[in-house]
Structure 1
Amino acid sequence: MGDIKAVSASLTDSTVKAALEAIESDMATLPEKIEMLIEMAAGLQSKPRSPQQIEDAIFLYCRAIELCPAEHPLLRARGLTGMGTALRIMPAEGPEFLLEAKAAYDAALPILQEHAAPEEIAETQMNLGVVIQALVPFHKATLKNAIQAYQRAARVFNGQNYPQEFAIIQNNIAIAYLSLPLAAEGEGMRQAMAVQSFEEALKWVTLIDYPSEYAMLNNNLANALQYLPTVHPIENNLKALAAYNEALKVRTAQDTPIEYANTISNKANVLFNLPDDIEYPAKGNLKNLMKAKTYYQEAYAMFREYEQWEQAEIVKQAMQEVEKELQIQLTINN
């Protein structure tokens, strides 16, 4: 793999200076120095305070890779995978960093497959899938290849032994299915495959053990159920409503305000289309429309508070639609 030219370390971070000083000393062996560089880089990128720290991490990974002798291929592979992850999270408008991340993972995988444990290989395949999926909007990769990478990772990260990783993989696969460009007749199939992936993950992820993943999966499952082509729309909407309620056991206005606002606005979408009495749908849904209006208002205020202007505008338009429908039904009832 060629040199990473997109970024260069500022060398202002004390961690970077310490790392460079350490590799010049005689206090450690070469493999120990390489491991230290990789560990320091991983620390910088784990919770970066600025893009500069990610750049510094990439710089340290590059130095580690440069120092790797041929007799330590696994250290080289770990430097490459770490650099791939740092490149993946580097803020950018174009695909350049993502393409470099893919190249790093691609270079690491053959080495890992020869020398590493299955879990380390699977983690790299999962990360590769994320990068490929992110490259699709730039027309630099295909969703099919992303799904294949996730599926390879899932052979190791199965639900029984690795429920958290399995949940993330299934969620990503489902989102990839929902994004697949298919003809109109394939729309129902991709929605159904996405629902199946979400449901499969939820078999292994519990509210108590993995609350964040549990909420994410239920929210996304409900979104897919809402728009799943079916001859039983009310049944699917009821399932979606139940899934949103499960997500809201975790997502709260206090702890996760943006996620909470997303979920209650999605829940309002269901209520907008759900009759008050499912046995007599012709009677309308005045009560559910009133509930939807309340949820939209709360979500709108929250999105504005946290400066999520695009989402606030979408909810504002939905509020206008619910107002129109309320006026129609109030007129009919009166």
Structure 2
Amino acid sequence: MLMEIALGLQRRPHEPTDLAYANDLYNEALQICPKDDRLLYGRLLAGQGSALMAIPEGHELLQQALERFQSAEVTLRDLATPEELAELEMNIGLVLQTLAVEGKAHFADAVRRYHSALKIFTAENHPREFAIIQNNIATAYLSMTMGEEAGKMREALAVQAYEAALKVLRLEDHPNEYAMLQNNLGNALQYASSSHPVENNLRAVQCYEEALKVRTATDRPLEYANTISNLANALSNLPDDSERPELGQSKNLDRARYLYAEAEAIFREHGEVAKARLVAETLQEIREYMFGADRVH
């Protein structure tokens, strides 16, 4: 009963303290769990790891979450379903990836965990989980620091991972995940080291426009603002006619200017001051380029 209450708090937290309360419930449940019920004990450990991982701004709790997941993995190895074990692999990978951002783990270890989970979470049987893992793999690849040649290979692998996810995830069935993947693929294409930047940016524009089928100013304003600012950046690096670049890019720059201005207004409205300032600086640069510094000022 304690575990069910904790799971309910995790799935639908109404207050910031709900996840912390769920963690307390798991602690209490672990204390009274019969020692011979290893399956229940392992599931409690896994649930507590998920609660600890989900607590906002709880980076100091991530190591505790990792320890719970690893203990659960040992306990459940011969008892749980393949899907439960794959979910543990996925969660361990996510914690390792988050810790790696802080320099407290290695991205490669997270990727290995993700690939292990993909043995169960296949595209055919578990498309949503497959897509989420591919997104995480791509993000991990793009976060790795390495030499130029290895970096290009990682960028290519990241693009492949995003594309693999989008092959199995349909807009109609999973709109939010679809939009996230399209936005992320656009970013990966736009910033990849490539000898074909125009082609990459053209594809990135298509990705952002797909994401905007879901991310609207009304329903998801901040996600919308992020995507239109990404789209503006891609447009600002494209000629109006890719086959005749000598004709310039006045139309694309004008559209980028409009999108940046809209994104800045949304960011300011929602208190995203740093993002608004960054977009405003880029917008100013475009205005100066188009109209000249004297006329802008």
Bigger-Rg structure (1/2):
1
Distance of 2:221 and 2:57 partners within structure 1: 26
Amino acid of the structure 1 residue aligned with 2:4:
E
Q: Which residue number corresponds to residue 264 of structure 1?
A: 228
Aligned to 1:139, what secondary structure does the other structure show? coil
1:87 and 2:57 equivalent?
A: no
Match of 2:41 among 52, 73, 76: 76
* TM alignment of 1:1-334, pairs within 5 A: 36-92=1-57, 95-327=59-291
TM-fit CA distance, 1:257: 0.7
Task: Return the offset for 1:47.
Answer: 2.5
Q: CA deviation at 1:248?
A: 0.7
**How far apart are residue 314 of structure 1 and its match?**
1.4
Letter in 1 for 2:135: N
Distance in 2, matches of 1:237 and 1:207, equals 22
> CA RMSD, aligned part only?
1.4
Q: Which runs of 5+ in 2 are unaligned?
A: none
Q: Deviations over 1:146-171 (max 9, x none)?
A: 11111111111111111111111000
Task: In structure 1, list runs of 5 or more residues that go unmatched.
Answer: 1-35
CA distance in 2, matches of 1:151, 1:182: 21
Give the secondary structure class of the aligned counterpart of 1:51: coil
TM-score normalised to structure 2 length: 0.95
State the secondary structure of the residue aligned to 2:77: helix
- Identity, in percent, stands at 48
Matched residues in 2 for 1:282 and 1:191: separation?
30
Provide the rounded CA distance (Å) in 1 between the counterparts of 2:56 and 2:166.
32
| Matched AA of 1:290 | D
> Secondary structure, in 3 states, of the residue corresponding to 1:252?
coil
Judge which range, 185-194 or 73-82, deviates more: 185-194
How many pairs align? 293
Which residue number corresponds to residue 15 of structure 1? none
Q: Which moved more, 1:46-55 or 1:36-45?
A: 46-55
TM, length-normalised to structure 1:
0.85
SS of 1:159's partner is coil
